[in-house]
């Protein structure tokens, strides 16, 4: 009996949904990195989605992580997670600070490419869900912590720094300098930066101790991260 014939209808449905996600959502968003595409095919995204919403795990939607749904607490769209993973371009010996664990799927994608990931989640219940999801997926190089990353001007984040990469899985009005200071020279920070409806995926590379280069290659409105500072409202 072939592998295809021996699989259950549910398993086949998931395979089809995963294939369609990659071909119809991910590739059209200029994701061509074979490593990222392979991860999307192998990491079980449906196992990171809330149980009641697993049928939508491969759809082009953000999935709420709280019940009832709460603004800002959702799983990013697959295409955003894929493009993020491609843009940050991790190497196998790199360390990552990830802020906004959510379901744990983004952390899983990062961990599969990096040496280790410290992932911080401000909501205790969601942090527990993410930890359970990562354990079920057999991913052991992610340290999920229930913490407010912004506390005391990101002091808690500094303990394991500096980092090769920092990833913010949500929108901020601006990137705090205190976070940029935690990057190694050559390190990269990814965040969604701006105010709805204009939010840009932003990649900042530390070129030297004092110089940073910024690129904003695409737009996407992601949930806003809690407690990050708002920009000054003062205008001349």
Q: Is the dihedral of CA 156, 161, 166, 167 positive or negative?
A: negative
At 126 the pLDDT is 96
| Predicted pLDDT of residue 233 | 58
41: domain range? 3-219
State the DSSP code for 77: P
> What pLDDT score was predicted for residue 2?
44
Q: Is residue 46, in this structure, part of any structural domain at all? A: yes
Which token pair is 149? 């990353």
**Residue 35: CATH number of its domain:** 3.40.50.150
In a domain? residue 236 = no
* Residue-level pLDDT, tens digit, the chain, 236 residues: 444 455 656 666 899 999 999 999 999 999 999 999 999 999 999 999 999 999 999 999 999 998 777 877 899 999 999 999 999 999 999 999 999 999 999 999 999 999 999 999 999 999 999 999 999 999 999 999 999 999 999 999 999 999 999 999 999 999 999 999 999 999 999 999 999 889 999 999 999 999 999 999 999 999 999 999 877 655 55
Q: Say if 228 falls within a structural domain.
A: no
Whole-angstrom distance, CA of residue 204 vs CA of residue 202:
6
Domains in the chain, number: 1
Query: Is the four-CA dihedral 162, 191, 137, 25 of positive or negative sign?
Result: negative
pLDDT at site 9: 62
Residue 235 covered by a domain: no
Residue 226 within a domain: no
Determine the pLDDT at residue 3: 47
Alpha carbons 80 and 222: distance in angstroms, whole number: 9
Return the pLDDT at 1.
42
């Amino acid at each position: 009996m072939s592998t295809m014939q021996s699989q259950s209808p549910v398993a086949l449905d998931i395979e089809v949904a995963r294939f369609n996600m990659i071909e119809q959502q991910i590739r059209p968003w200029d994701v061509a990195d074979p490593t990222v595409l392979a991860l999307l095919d192998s990491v079980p995204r449906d196992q990171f989605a809330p149980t009641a919403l697993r049928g939508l795990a491969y759809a082009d939607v953000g999935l709420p992580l709280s019940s009832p749904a709460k603004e800002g607490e959702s799983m990013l769209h697959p295409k955003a997670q894929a493009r993020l993973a491609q843009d940050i371009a991790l190497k196998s010996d790199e360390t990552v600070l990830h802020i906004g664990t959510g379901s744990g799927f983004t952390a899983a994608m990062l961990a599969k490419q990096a040496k280790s990931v410290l992932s911080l989640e401000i909501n205790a219940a969601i942090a527990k869900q993410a930890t359970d999801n990562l354990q079920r997926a057999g991913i052991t190089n992610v340290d999920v912590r229930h913490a407010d990353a912004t506390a005391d001007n990101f002091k808690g984040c500094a303990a394991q720094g500096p980092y090769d990469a920092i990833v913010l899985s949500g929108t901020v009005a601006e990137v705090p300098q205190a976070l940029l200071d935690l990057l190694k020279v050559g390190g990269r920070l990814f965040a969604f930066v701006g105010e709805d409806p204009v939010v840009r995926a932003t990649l900042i590379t530390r070129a030297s101790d004092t110089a940073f280069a910024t690129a904003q290659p695409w737009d996407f409105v992601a949930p806003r991260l809690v407690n990050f500072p708002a920009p000054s409202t003062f205008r001349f």
